[in-house]
Amino acid sequence: MKKEILRFTDVTYIYHTVRGETIAAQDLSFSVGEGEFVAIIGPSGCGKTTLLSLAAELLKPSEGNVSRTGSCGYMLQKDHLFPWRTIEKNIVLPLEIKKQNTPQNRERAKKLAVKYGLGDFLDSYPSQLSGGMRQRAALIRTLATDPDILLLDEPFSALDYQTRLNVTEDVSEIIRSEGKTALLITHDISEAISLADRILVLTKRPARVAFEHEMDFGDVKNPLKRRETGNFSGWFEVLWKELNI
């Protein structure tokens, strides 16, 4: 059994507003093992983002327990690069925040950027980069502090279709080759199938894990190659039905 990085045990989360309370998640349990790429899909409005905030410990569960070993890096829908900072300054931002802005750490983050094709853009401002490049820079920023788990909140949904396939490819490649653990939240079934080792299907609110599937693509990790295999459409059908129950 692999080491567990993240575990949700019977987590219930209740949202409070003046108008009332909403149960976003109830008795939600799952875990993510080291080096695993887990995707969570669910009907829209089922509280997916709440779940990531719980995993990032930005929210505390109302009941149950979230345990995480090690640090996490959060990646959102949009790149949220700061327009007044150069790409290099953007990438070292988490180092500044965590007060780990040492020359070695900066050098490591820069090397990562160079390795994944951002070398020429370190002194550029975000507005000078394409959407795909920006999302890549956002990923490098997330990786700068060498987090133990990446939390990906629909990181491709703001991109146009072609860029989206390319960036999915990039991100998958980078995460796999850096040996990172990742938890992806998405409403895009094919994205989940093309990326993940394991897929959790959530119910409508309050969210629980309804189904869980190990992906059986063998050694095929590349998203585009996966889309070409025979069992891709099979999985799509299964998950599509499960989402609409």
Partner 1 sequence: MKKRTMRQTYSAEHLHFLKKRRQHLVLVWTLRVGLLLLIAGIWELVTALGWVDPFFTSSPSRIARTIAGLYSDGVLFYHIGVTLWETLAGFAIAVGLGYGIALALWWSDVLREVLEPYIVVLNALPKIALGPLIIVWCGTGSKAILFMTVLVGIIVAIMHMLSAFIATDKNKMLLLRSMGASKFQILAKLVVPSSLPAFISMLKVAVGMSWIGSIMGEYIVSRAGLGYLIVYGGQVFKLDLVMSATVLLCLLAAGMYFLVALLEKFLVKNTES
Structure tokens that stand for 193 in this block: 């199938």
Q: How far is the CB of 233 from partner 1 (least distance, A)?
A: 34
| 131, 156, 172, 225: CA torsion to nearest 10 | -100
- When binding is defined by CB under 8 A, the residue of 58, 114, 224, 245 that contacts partner 1 is 58
Nearer to partner 1 (CB atom), residue 17 or residue 127: 127
- Residue 47 near partner 1 by CB under 8 A: no
Contacts of 56 (CB under 8 A, 6+ apart): 72, 74, 151
User: Per-residue contact track with partner 1, 130 to 159, x per CB under 8 A?
Assistant: x--------------x-----x--------
What is the spatial distance between Cα 214 and Cα 192, in angstroms, rounded to a whole number? Answer: 12
Displacement of CA 180 from its chain's centroid (Å) = 11
Radius of gyration of the chain, Cα coordinates, nearest whole angstrom = 18
Report how many residues bind partner 1 under the rule CB under 8 A. Answer: 31
Asked if 122 is part of the footprint of partner 1 (rule: CB under 8 A), the reply reads: no
Euclidean distance between CA atoms 241 and 207, whole angstroms: 17
From 18, 20, 44, 120, residue interacting with partner 1 (rule: CB under 8 A): 120
In sequence order, the 6+-apart residues with CB closer than 8 A to the CB of 7 are 30, 31, 32, 65, 66, 67, 68
Residue 128 binds partner 1 (CB under 8 A): yes
Site string for partner 1, 158-197 (x = CB under 8 A): ----------------------------------------
How far, in Å, CA of 125 to CA of 167, rounded?
19
15 lines the binding site for partner 1 (CB under 8 A): no
Q: Which of residues 127, 179, 228, 244 is near partner 1 by CB under 8 A?
A: 127
Q: Is position 124 an interface residue for partner 1 (rule: CB under 8 A)?
A: yes
Residue among 164, 195, 166 at smallest CA distance from 180: 195
> Using CB under 8 A as the criterion, which residues of the chain lie in contact with partner 1 when the complex forms?
53, 56, 58, 72-74, 76-78, 80-85, 93-94, 96-98, 120-121, 124-130, 145, 151
